[in-house]
Amino acid sequence: MIPVDYHLHTTFSKDGKSTLAEVCDAALARGLKEICFTEHMDFDRDDPAYGYLDWKAYAAGIAAAQGRYAGRLTVRKGVEFDFRRAYETVPGEFLAAIDFDFAIGSVHSVAGYHLYDLYKGVPADFNLAKVQAEYFDEVEALVDSGWASAIGHFDYLYKQLPALVAASRDKAYWRRVEGILERCVAGGVAIEVNTHHVLDRGLAMAADLEILRRYRALGGRLVTVGSDAHRAPEVAGHFAAAEQALREAGFDAITGFKQGAPYSITL
C-alpha cells in the first residue's frame, strides 16, 4: 500500500475546495500515515490565482494540524510552485524566503496554452511538436534550477492528451525525456507519480509506467506519489494504479521529504 499522499491542495489554493482538517480526516480514513500539503504558488501576474497563497496563514494552519494529529498522521508542509523561464529568479527568491519540507516544481503553461485545459479539446491550429519542444525546454530548465524537490506530473502534455501524445512517443521523444530524467538523477531531483483524474477524466498517470521504467534504468530512485486532490474525497485517489506501475517498474519504496531532505518509505 502507498501510505502517504504528497500532492494535496486545500482552500489555501484558489482552486482547492476542502479545509486542511477535512483533508487530514480523509487521509486518516484512507489509512494513510503521512501527507504533504502542496498549495499552489503562482508567479504569473495575469493568473487569477496570483498572490492568492497566504504563506503565513498556511504555515500556521500546518503547525496547528501537526499538533492536532500528532501520533496519528504526519503532516508535512509543501508547495507546488509554477515554473516558467520567464519568471527568471522570482521562484527561487520566494523559496529561499520560506520554510518548507517539500517543493514540487510544475510547468502548467506553454506557448500560450494552459495545459490543464487541453483535455477539453485542442484548437484546430494546435502544433503538438512545437508545444512539446517548448514544454521539454521548460522542464529541463526547471530541473537545472535546483529549486524543485520533485518534478510535478511529468509528462504533463501526455497526462492531458494521452492518445495524441502516445502516438508521438518516438525515438526523438524518448531521447528528450531521458535527457531530462538523466538531469533529475544527477541533480537528486525526484519525479512524481500524479494520479489526478486518471480514471474519472481519462487522463494519463504522470509519470507513467514507461517513464518510471526509464528513470529507474538511468539510476533514478526518488519517486513521490500524489493524488493532486483539490477536495477531500480525492485524497489517495487511484493509488492502486500508481502502486501497480511502481512495482512493475521495479520500485518497492517511494520518497518522503522533511525540510527538503529525502527519505525512503517502503511500499
Please identify which residue in 228, 229, 251, 257 interacts with Zn ion, judged by CB under 5 A.
228
Would you count residue 5 as binding Zn ion (CB under 5 A)?
A: no
Interstrand relation of 113-114 and 109-110 (parallel, antiparallel or unpaired):
antiparallel
Closest CA to 108 of 131, 77, 75: 131
- Nearest residue to Zn ion by CB is 106
Would you count residue 109 as binding Zn ion (CB under 5 A)?
A: no
Q: How far is the CB of 80 from Zn ion (least distance, A)?
A: 5
Q: How far is the CB of 94 from Zn ion (least distance, A)?
A: 16
By beta-carbon proximity to Zn ion, the closer residue of 27 and 216 is 27
Site string for Zn ion, 61-90 (x = CB under 5 A): -------------------x----------
Would you count residue 208 as binding Zn ion (CB under 5 A)?
A: no
Alpha helices in 30-98 (DSSP H): 55-68, 90-97
Q: How far is the CB of 153 from Zn ion (least distance, A)?
A: 6
Kindly report whether the peptide bond that precedes residue 207 is cis, defined as omega within 30 degrees of 0. Answer: yes
Q: How far is the CB of 264 from Zn ion (least distance, A)?
A: 23
Site string for Zn ion, 9-38 (x = CB under 5 A): ------------------------------
Would you count residue 145 as binding Zn ion (CB under 5 A)?
A: no
By beta-carbon proximity to Zn ion, the closer residue of 80 and 155 is 80
Scanning 63-71, 106-114, 136-144, 249-257 for contacts with Zn ion by CB under 5 A, the matching segment is: 106-114
Q: Which residues touch 196 (CB under 8 Å, ≥6 apart)?
A: 7, 153, 203, 226, 227, 228, 229, 234, 237
Rounded to 5°, angle at Cα 71 from 66 and 73: 60
**Partner residues linked to 81 by β-bridges:** 41, 105
Q: How far is the CB of 225 from Zn ion (least distance, A)?
A: 13
Please identify which residue in 10, 74, 106, 255 interacts with Zn ion, judged by CB under 5 A.
106
By beta-carbon proximity to Zn ion, the closer residue of 241 and 253 is 241
Please tell me the distance from the alpha carbon of residue 93 to that of residue 43, in angstroms, as a whole number: 11
**Alpha-carbon distance values, 48 to 14, 33, 44 (Å):** 8, 34, 9
> From the CB of residue 162, how many other CB atoms can be counted at a distance below 10 Å?
19
Please tell me the distance from the alpha carbon of residue 251 to that of residue 248, in angstroms, as a whole number: 7
- Classified as helix, coil or strand, 257 is strand
By CB under 5 A, the count of residues binding Zn ion is: 4
Q: How far is the CB of 116 from Zn ion (least distance, A)?
A: 7
- Please report, as ranges, the residues that interact with Zn ion according to CB under 5 A: 80, 106, 152, 228
